[in-house]
Amino acid sequence: MCRLKRKIIPVILVMGLVVSIGMSQDTNPLFQETKVKNYIPHMTWKEFEDALKRTNMAIIPVGSVEQHGKHLPLGTDFYGATETAKLIAQEVDVLVAPILFLGLAEYHMGFPGTMTLSPETFEAVVYESALSLIRHGIKKIMIYNGHGGNNVAVDNVVRKINQTTEAVAVKLNNIEPPPEPEARSYPPYDWHAGIAETSLMLYLTNSLVDMSQAEKPVMTFPPAVEKANDFMKEEPNLQQVTSASMFTPKETGKKGSTREMTNTGVFSTGNPKDARAEYGKQDTDRFIKAAVKFIKTWKKIGE
């Protein structure tokens, strides 16, 4: 009878930490990343040069550092966009170039930890970073935005790239996955750190989510929104008024900053405790499938 020998690694307890004897202590114990294919920060210049022989396309994910309730990290929007882009790059040859963590989040500044840029700074950094990629030979740029507050600024950058350079830029968020008869629906106003976004992060960055802190928020809509909602059935286009009145800086007086609208920072009529990683995976897989199809078809067009 053959017995498999087990390799026993002795451990010792040092100041509450289990340390394996014989394992190197000469490297940073906090660094947990593993090298990801086509992710520019992980690549050498030679690997980038070789990649240019296969592709002239790059995704620039952008997001924000802002409050996302008590259960999600401040970097939710950046990580959401970046991790999704990295997953796309495993399915089709396209480079991923994260540029900056910060976005436009003035209306979240009532909660600690939120950081924000001016639109001018945000647009300049993303545009000038795109210029660097273009100089190296990237001719097709897809900006993938993980934060709704960046939408107008991203549109401005896309237009500027198209109007001032040889490259073609698009907003990857405009990709529409094919409709599914049984697609999951979320509660009304499930816009920020609610069931959908929490599910996304449970799938993409599970270790950063603390579901023990998730709770249903107490919502307080701005007066203009409450009044407009009374007439919404009569005039659906009043949606423009409600949208314009929410997620606005406190200084505007519209009562539309997140600190004024929600006690926890979560903006949803649902309960983030109902989030599930499987929901996030299903939603992400649908988008990735559509994005990969788009990219592969765009590749066929040539330069």
Residue range 103-155, pLDDT digits in tens: 999 999 999 999 999 999 999 999 999 999 999 999 999 999 999 999 999 99
- pLDDT tens digits, one per residue of 221-270: 999 999 998 998 899 999 999 999 999 999 999 999 999 999 999 999 99
Mean model confidence pLDDT for the chain: 92
> What does each C-alpha distance from 35 to 43, 82, 91, 184 come to in angstroms?
8, 14, 16, 33
Residues above pLDDT 90, as percent of the chain: 84
For residues 158 and 109, what is the distance between their CA atoms, to the nearest angstrom?
Answer: 27
Q: What's the pLDDT band for 1 if we cut at 50, 70, 90?
A: very low
Tell whether the model's pLDDT for residue 163 goes beyond 60: yes
Q: What's the pLDDT band for 290 if we cut at 50, 70, 90?
A: very high
The pLDDT of residue 23? 54
Residue 141 belongs to domain with CATH number: 3.40.50.10310
Q: Which domain holds residue 155?
A: 34-181+283-301
- Rounded to 10°, the helix 76-91/277-301 angle is 50
Tell whether the model's pLDDT for residue 7 goes beyond 50: no
Read off the pLDDT of each residue in 60-77 and give the average, rounded to a whole number. 98
The pLDDT of residue 183? 77
Q: What's the pLDDT band for 303 if we cut at 50, 70, 90?
A: low
Instruction: Tell me which of 150 and 176 has the higher pLDDT.
Output: 150
Instruction: Tell me which of 7 and 241 has the higher pLDDT.
Output: 241
The pLDDT of residue 180? 82
The pLDDT of residue 179? 85
Per DSSP, the residues of the chain read: ---PPP----EEEETTEEEETTS--SS-TT------TTBGGG--HHHHHHHTTT--EEEEEE--B---TTTS-TTHHHHHHHHHHHHHHHHS--EE----S----GGGTTSTT-B---HHHHHHHHHHHHHHHHHTT--EEEEEE--GGGHHHHHHHHHHHHHHSSSEEEEGGG--PPP-TT-----TT--BSSHHHHHHHHHH-GGG--GGG--PPPB---HHHHHHHHTTTT-GGGHHHHHHHSS--GGGSSS-SHHHHBSSS-B-SS-GGG--HHHHHHHHHHHHHHHHHHHHHHHHH--
In a domain, 246, yes or no: no
The pLDDT of residue 6? 47
The pLDDT of residue 184? 85
The pLDDT of residue 302? 75
Tell whether the model's pLDDT for residue 208 goes beyond 60: yes
Indicate the residue type of 204.
L
Tell whether the model's pLDDT for residue 15 goes beyond 70: no
Q: What's the pLDDT band for 24 if we cut at 50, 70, 90?
A: low
Tell whether the model's pLDDT for residue 5 goes beyond 60: no
What is the pTM for the complete model shown? 0.89
In a domain, 297, yes or no: yes
Read off the pLDDT of each residue in 294-300 and give the average, rounded to a whole number. 95
Of the candidates 128, 158, 133, which has an alpha carbon nearest to the alpha carbon of residue 58?
133
Domain count, the chain: 1
In a domain, 290, yes or no: yes
